[in-house]
Amino acid sequence: MLLKFAMLQLRNQAQAEDAVQETLMAAIQGAKNFAGKSSVRTWLVGILKHKIVDLIRRSSRERPLDLPDEETSLEDFDALYREDGHYASMPAEWGDPETALSQRRFFETLERCLERLPKNTARVFMMREVMGIETDEICKELAITATNCWVLLYRARMSLRACLEERWFAIRA
Amino acid sequence: MKLKLTCKEAGRLISEGLDRKLSLPQRIALRLHLTICDACTRINAQFRFLRRAALRYPGPERDGGES
C-alpha cells in the first residue's frame, strides 16, 4: 500500500522504494511518538507524505521536469464542448458523493483513475491535492511556469471527474 | 476580461480558483456564470469533492472505517 502510494506520486520504482524504506526507518525510530489516536496506516501515510515531499525537493534541483506538449495543451478537451462553448454532454449528477468517502472500493477506483493520468499530470495533482502543497511551491520545485501548473491541474481534475463518473458514479446512481 | 464566459472558460476558472486567488473581474464573471449554468455548478461541486477525496486518499482500511 505504501509503495503504491509512493509510486503514484513519484512514478519511479527506485525513488518510491527509497521513500518507503525511509518511512519505515523513521517509523521504527519514532514508534514511541505514535499516540494511537489514528490507525498505524494513517500514521505511516503521514510520514510517507513528508518523505515524498523531501525527495521531490531533492530531485527537482538535480533535473528540471520534462514536460511533453500534449500535457500542457488543451486541444484534446475541445471534444467535451459544443461550438458555442457549452458541454456536449451534461456532467452527471453525482447524488451524495460524500458517502463514497467511507468506502474502500471508491478509493481503489480513484487510484486506478490516477494511474491512468499522464505522468506529470498525476504528479502535480498529487502534490497539490494529496500532499496539499501550494501551487507556487509546486511550480518552483518542478521548474515549470504557473500557467503550465494550472493547466496540468485543470487537466487532472477534468480527467479524474470523467473517470470517476464512468467507473463509480454512473454505476451506482 | 469579458463578463460572459463559455463553459470551457468557466471550467478553467473554477479549477484555477482552487489554486490561486482569481482577480475580481474573474470572480464576478464566474459567479454570474454559475448562477445560470447547471453544468458548471456540477463541475464546481465535483472539483471540490475531488479535493476532499484526494486529501483522504488512500481512504479507509475497511468500509466505513477510519480514513
Query: Cell numbers at residue A120, please?
Result: 506529470
CATH value at residue A107:
1.10.10.10
Contact B61, A104 (CB under 8 A): yes
State residue A142's pLDDT score.
86
| Chain B residues with beta carbon closer than 8 angstroms to that of A145 | none
CB contact B66 to A (< 8 Å):
yes
CB pairs < 8 Å spanning A and B? 119
State residue A75's pLDDT score.
85
Q: Which of A25, A173, A12 is nearest to A100 (CA)?
A: A173
Q: Which of A109, A2, A16 is nearest to A45 (CA)?
A: A2
CB contact B12 to A (< 8 Å):
yes
State residue A154's pLDDT score.
96
CB contact A146 to B (< 8 Å):
yes
CB contact B23 to A (< 8 Å):
no
State residue B66's pLDDT score.
53
CATH value at residue A2:
1.10.1740
pLDDT tens readout for residues B3-59: 789 999 999 999 999 999 999 999 999 999 999 999 999 999 999 999 999 999 988
Whether residue A74 sits in one domain with residue A57: no
State residue B67's pLDDT score.
45
- Domain closes at, from A63, A78, A102: A63
Segments in chain A below pLDDT 70: 60-64, 173
Taking the alpha carbons at both ends of chain A, their separation in whole angstroms is: 29
Whether residue A138 sits in one domain with residue A83: yes
Which residue has cell 451506482?
Answer: A172
